[in-house]
């Protein structure tokens, strides 16, 4: 088999140790190799880097993406060697012959012959933005969990506030909860705290606020409210940090090695490097995507679309494309592959928002598919369309252009008209069609 890299190494990474196997292919075809185990502290990782670079002259290194344990080694070797971070499922060794030494040799041998495909590892500034957006998402989910626990306490105290108000953490509901914590027991007094349109429901609020509240419930409610306040403060800090990071970050587009991977050319008159701030503004024009979702998408998939061979490649990487499982001419499950979990969640959330945007292409697509294929499949299909739109928006550096809610009807205008006419005729009507241009068409 042809040797691609003459000097390379394979790393078997664990929490406390790294087993390294460098290989040197000699001119006569022989292979010189060695095995050594290093610790994972920074000092020992620097020794690993010197050993691979100085003593062996390695140019490429491959290692498995095992949890978070690959990051310390990657941080030290980044910029000194060409690093391939590979999926563990793609390099399985022979069953029954698995040791750290054999794993390192196996990885090095696969790399030597060019049989490994590296995973996409974004540049440092994008990785930092990912950390910020993912932690913010964790805080948002934790806040939702605390609100649910607060609601359980209210139910235990016979307070049915959530049956009347839409948001138990809204301004009016929050004032009522604080009154309960302070010891207020008169439902009429608490109902008077309602503001805006909620004041028209004061009679319902009076009934909902009649409960059996004890000191035990007040203690729990006070703790949950303090926890929610803390989480909201943290979320705001992260919002500010993310906004500042996006304003300072720039695109880290790299030259393409394969012309086939070149995305569509940017629009004329939009010279220069696309920045994260510009990319977020462009993504924000897509229905269903708000500022926070645009920040998540920019952090997860980046803003340089040349990393993906096509919009379909990006959709598959995001986990919103149909899977392929065919054998002997029979097509089996078309379940979507496991893609980028954070990006997939954001796209599904965007799809739920887009389906409620009346008069839009995405809403029309959802209702068209939901009637035939079901709501869940329709949501995934809309999420797929959103990521495809995002690919072209960032590639062309153009804002989203709406096709309209009647796009599918206009595409097959005559067929739609004939179908509706036939339905009316079956109900006993005689239909006369008149176009806006003044031309009249009468159905027989």
Reported as a pLDDT band with limits 50, 70 and 90, residue 257 is very low
| Confidence at 92, pLDDT banded by 50, 70, 90 | confident
Asked if 286 and 377 sit in the same domain, the reply is yes
CB 261 within 8 A of CB 287: no
Domain identity same for 85 and 149? no
Angle (nearest 5°) at CA 327 between 321 and 331: 50
Q: How far apart are the first and last CA of the chain?
A: 74
Q: Are residues 298 and 279 in the same domain?
A: yes
Rounded to whole angstroms, the Cα distance separating 305 from 266 reads 11
Give residue 432's pLDDT band: very low, low, confident or very high (50, 70, 90): confident
Q: How confident is the model at residue 362 (pLDDT cuts 50, 70, 90)?
A: very high
In-domain check, residue 407: no
d(CA 113, CA 141): 45
Q: Tell me if 169 is assigned to some domain.
A: yes
Asked if the structure places residue 91 within a domain, the reply is yes
More confident residue, 384 or 437: 384
* pLDDT over threshold 90, residue 388: yes
Per-residue pLDDT, averaged over 13-27, amounts to: 93
What DSSP state is assigned to residue 56? S
For 321, the 3-state DSSP assignment is: coil
Residues 44 and 91 in one domain: yes
Q: Domain containing 419: what range?
A: 412-442
Half-sphere exposure of 260 (CA within 13 A, CB side): 2
pLDDT band at 326 (very low <50, low <70, confident <90, very high): confident
Q: Residue 59 has what pLDDT?
A: 93
* Strongest mean pLDDT among 254-268, 323-337, 344-358: 344-358
Give the mean model confidence (pLDDT) for residues 137-161. Answer: 96
Residue 91 pLDDT greater than 50, yes or no: yes
> Of 144, 308, 161, which Cα lies nearest the Cα of 227?
144
Domain membership of residue 118 (yes or no) is: no
Phi-psi region of 35 (alpha: psi -120 to 50; beta: other; left: phi over 0): beta
- How would you label 365-376 residue by residue, b for 16+ Cβ within 10 Å and e otherwise? bbeebbeeeeee
For residues 384 and 416, membership in a common domain is answered with: no
How many residues are present in the chain?
A: 444
Question: 22 or 267: whose pLDDT is higher?
Answer: 22
Q: Are 343 and 293 in contact (CB under 8 A)?
A: no
Averaged pLDDT, 412-430: 90
pLDDT tens per residue across span 176-204: 999 999 999 899 999 999 999 999 999 99
pLDDT band at 28 (very low <50, low <70, confident <90, very high): confident
167 and 242 housed in the same domain:
yes
* Contact yes or no for 350/383 (Cβ under 8 A): yes
Residue 83 lies in a domain: yes
Number of domains in the chain: 4
293 has a pLDDT exceeding 80:
yes
| Residue 426 falls inside a structural domain | yes
Query: Considering the entire predicted model, what is its pTM?
Result: 0.82
Residue 306 clears pLDDT 50, i.e. is over it? yes
Same domain, yes or no: 63 and 183: no
CB atoms within 10 A of CB 143: 18
What is the CB-side half-sphere exposure of residue 130 using CA atoms within 13 A? 15
Q: Contact at 8 Å (CB) between 60 and 23?
A: no
Look at residue 37 and tell me if it is in a domain: yes
**Which of 326, 380, 315 shows the shortest CA–CA distance to 354?**
380
Whether residue 266 is found in the same domain as residue 382: yes
Domain final position from 224, 247, 270: 247
- Is 266 in the same domain as 366? yes
Q: In this predicted structure, which of 149-158, 294-303, 435-444 has the lowest mean pLDDT?
A: 435-444
Asked if 364 and 407 touch (Cβ cutoff 8 Å), the reply is yes
């Amino acid at each position: 088999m042809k040797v691609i890299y003459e000097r390379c190494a394979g790393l078997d990474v664990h929490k406390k140790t790294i087993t390294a196997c460098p290989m040197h292919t000699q001119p006569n075809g022989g292979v010189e190799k060695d095995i050594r185990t290093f610790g994972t502290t920074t000092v020992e990782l620097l020794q690993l880097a010197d050993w691979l670079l100085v003593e062996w002259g390695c140019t490429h290194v491959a290692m498995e993406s095992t949890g978070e344990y690959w990051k310390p080694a990657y941080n030290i070797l980044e910029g000194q060697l060409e690093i391939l971070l590979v999926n563990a499922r793609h390099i399985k060794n022979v069953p029954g012959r698995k040791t750290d030494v054999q794993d390192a040799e196996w990885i090095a041998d696969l790399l030597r012959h060019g049989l490994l495909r590296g995973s996409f590892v974004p540049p440092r500034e994008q990785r930092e933005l990912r950390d910020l957006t993912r932690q913010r998402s964790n805080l948002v989910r934790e806040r939702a969990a605390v609100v649910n626990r607060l609601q359980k306490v209210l139910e235990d105290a016979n307070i049915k506030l959530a049956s009347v108000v839409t948001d138990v953490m809204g301004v009016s509901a929050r004032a009522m909860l604080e009154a309960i914590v302070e010891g207020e027991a008169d439902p009429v007094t608490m109902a008077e705290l309602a503001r805006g349109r909620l004041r028209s429901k004061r009679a319902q609020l009076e009934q909902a606020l009649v409960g059996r509240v004890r000191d035990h419930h007040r203690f729990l409610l006070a703790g949950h409210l303090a926890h929610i306040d803390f989480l909201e403060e943290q979320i705001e800090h992260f919002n500010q940090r993310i906004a500042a990071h996006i304003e300072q970050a720039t695109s880290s587009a790299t030259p393409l090695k394969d012309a086939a991977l070149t995305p569509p050319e940017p629009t004329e008159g939009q010279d220069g490097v696309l920045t994260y701030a510009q990319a977020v503004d462009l993504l924000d024009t897509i229905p269903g995507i708000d500022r926070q979702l645009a920040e998540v998408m920019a952090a997860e998939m980046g803003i340089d679309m040349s990393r993906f061979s096509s919009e379909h490649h990006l959709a598959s990487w995001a986990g919103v494309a149909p899977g392929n499982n065919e054998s002997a001419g029979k097509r089996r499950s078309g379940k979507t592959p496991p893609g980028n979990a954070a990006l997939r969640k954001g796209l599904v959330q965007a799809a739920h928002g887009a389906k409620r945007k009346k008069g839009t292409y995405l809403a029309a697509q959802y209702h068209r598919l939901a009637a035939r294929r079901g709501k869940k499949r329709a949501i995934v299909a809309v999420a797929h369309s959103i990521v495809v739109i995002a690919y072209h928006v960032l590639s062309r550096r153009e804002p989203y252009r709406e096709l309209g809610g009647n796009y599918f009807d206009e595409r097959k205008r005559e067929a739609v008209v004939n179908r509706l006419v036939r339905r009316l005729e079956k109900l006993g009507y005689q239909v006369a069609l008149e176009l806006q241009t003044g031309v009249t068409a009468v159905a027989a």
